[in-house]
Amino acid sequence: MALTSLLRHQRRELAMKLVKRELRTSPVHSLTGLPEPEIRTLYRMQHDRSPPSGPMPSASSFFSSRKNQAEVTLFGALYRHLGGKRIHRQLSADILMKAHDLYRAVHPDDGDGKGLDFTDAWVIARDLKSGATRFLPCRQCGLDYLIADHVDIPPSCPFCFFRRLRKQKEGR
């Protein structure tokens, strides 16, 4: 097999895996280099419908509440655990898939649309690479939590927030 067709085969195979996870067309394109029309065809073959269009989810939607921030932090911690420092330089589809599988083991997709889907995971990985989303160490509990610029919640630890909340409730 010629090198170019081998590469093409590998790209298509990777695109197929990503499409099965319902990753949106533009991230599949950026991870595989496959032309977008070809990706949309793969998507329709796999899911019997067109891939979703419209704007991608943004960092601000992930940090709209403390619960969401904790959820994003959970995924980010798994992703960083598997990818190490590389995650700030490159976005590896392989590590992303492994991290999302681990995340789904903790927070299964119950069909309720809750939790982070694979496209959300890609957006978080992209923002960790660019620095738009980053880890900060919590001086109180020692865990690293995620935060982004221009979000509604204060830049502090979600876990300590929930701990304080519970203490307040118990103190009543």
Chain residues binding Zn ion by CB under 5 A are: 138, 140-141, 157, 159-160
Compute the least distance from the CB of residue 27 to Zn ion, in Å.
31
Q: Where are the beta strands (DSSP E) in the chain?
A: 133-137, 144-148
Q: How far is it, in rounded angstroms, from Cα 25 to Cα 132?
A: 22
Name the token pair of 85.
């420092």
16 vs 143, which CB is nearer to Zn ion?
Answer: 143
Compute the least distance from the CB of residue 69 to Zn ion, in Å.
12
5 vs 168, which CB is nearer to Zn ion?
Answer: 168
Compute the least distance from the CB of residue 156 to Zn ion, in Å.
8
Q: How far is it, in rounded angstroms, from Cα 130 to Cα 23?
A: 20
Contact status, residue 142 vs residue 133, Cβ threshold 8 Å? no
Compute the least distance from the CB of residue 64 to Zn ion, in Å.
20
61 vs 140, which CB is nearer to Zn ion?
Answer: 140
Phi and psi of 154, rounded to 5°? -70, 150
H-helix or E-strand spanning residue 77: helix 66-83
Instruction: Scan for tokens 């610029």, then name that residue.
Output: 149
45 vs 141, which CB is nearer to Zn ion?
Answer: 141
